[in-house]
Chains A and B, each alone.
Chain A
């Protein structure tokens, strides 16, 4: 006997993500899902963002990696609570992993939770975690052609951070073409050129994020 189902395969993840989103909203905490390739500077960008916003907001970090706890230790060294998730081989975080991680945090005590997703430009873009915003980082050495190759991650991101901008002079990175393709994939997303380790451009990115956090706190749709 044939039975029609016609439902999304990731419906179970979407349901859990919806539960996460309701918890975050109830606690008044803004949750950022930060996605990028390995080595693009996710942890450096998180540390720079913490430096820019820690006086205004209570921040916690959820670190997703296939293995190790080196990233969580780096964040904790700056006096910021960090929960490490080891996916044990999975290439992305899922809503159920985030639920387990936030169970260990007092959500009401925080204004901002930054999730560092597993280094990957493909799978993280397909999984809703319950976040308020997905943001991606591309670093200059990766090349300006990445939006052609990985369009989905550029389409789901609310903002694009262009990291290692200080190395622009030594790489063949066509910034006008990059901006043109990103605009075509996602006309709404601002692009923030930054150098996370040197601090250039971090203030502009942090102000954009602060605007989102404040809107979330005010109960608006962030």
Chain B
């Protein structure tokens, strides 16, 4: 149910931007989602179909770009791409002093409107 709140957030931003641009119809919405946000794309698509109904975004495609998590070790400089469970410890030097570079994105990039 995490995804329904996110789908509503997408719809709100979409409708605001569409109204500002004087749109009569929204064709598609592009968003970027980091894997660490725990968002499941299938569940988000399902929630989006429910959220967009009865709005000018009804029928609009939701194009989701998933972003891998990427972390840099502050001790040895090693950078690695990882799943949501293995970013806390450097696989190279086994140090814990690490900095997350990507993976927490939850951003609406653009919309396509008529």
Contact = CB atoms under 8 A, between A and B. Distances in A.
B9 A185 contact: no
How many interface residues does chain B have, given as a range? Answer: 35 or more
Contacts of B61: none
A6 B108 contact: yes
Nearest to B37: A126
A148 B108 CA distance: 29
Interface in B1-52: 1-2, 4-6, 9-10, 12-14, 17-18, 21, 23, 31, 36-38
A6 B109 contact: yes
A7 B36 contact: no
B98 A9 contact: no
A133 B90 CA distance: 29
Contact of A2 (B10, B13, B111): B111
Contacts of B114: 1
Given A89-B1, A148-B85, A185-B88, A7 B107 contact: yes
Nearest to A96: B5
B93 interface: no
A7 B89 contact: no
A10 B106 contact: yes
A3 B17 CA distance: 8
Contacts of B21: 1, 3
Interface string A159-198: 0000000000000000000001101110000000000000
Interface string B54-91: 00000000000000000000000000000011111100
Contact of B106 (A8, A94, A151): A8
Contacts of A13: 5, 9
Interface in A97-124: 122-123
B77 to A, nearest CB: 16
A10 B36 contact: no
Contacts of B111: 2-3, 5
A90 interface: yes
A183 B97 CA distance: 9
B102 interface: no
A11 B37 contact: no
13 contacts: A1-B21, A5-B14, A10-B6, A10-B106, A12-B12, A13-B9, A89-B1, A90-B1, A151-B88, A152-B104, A181-B88, A184-B89, A184-B96
- In the A-B complex, list the 9 residue pairs whose CB atoms are closest, starting with the nearest: A184-B96, A9-B9, A123-B2, A4-B110, A9-B106, A90-B1, A91-B1, A5-B17, A122-B38
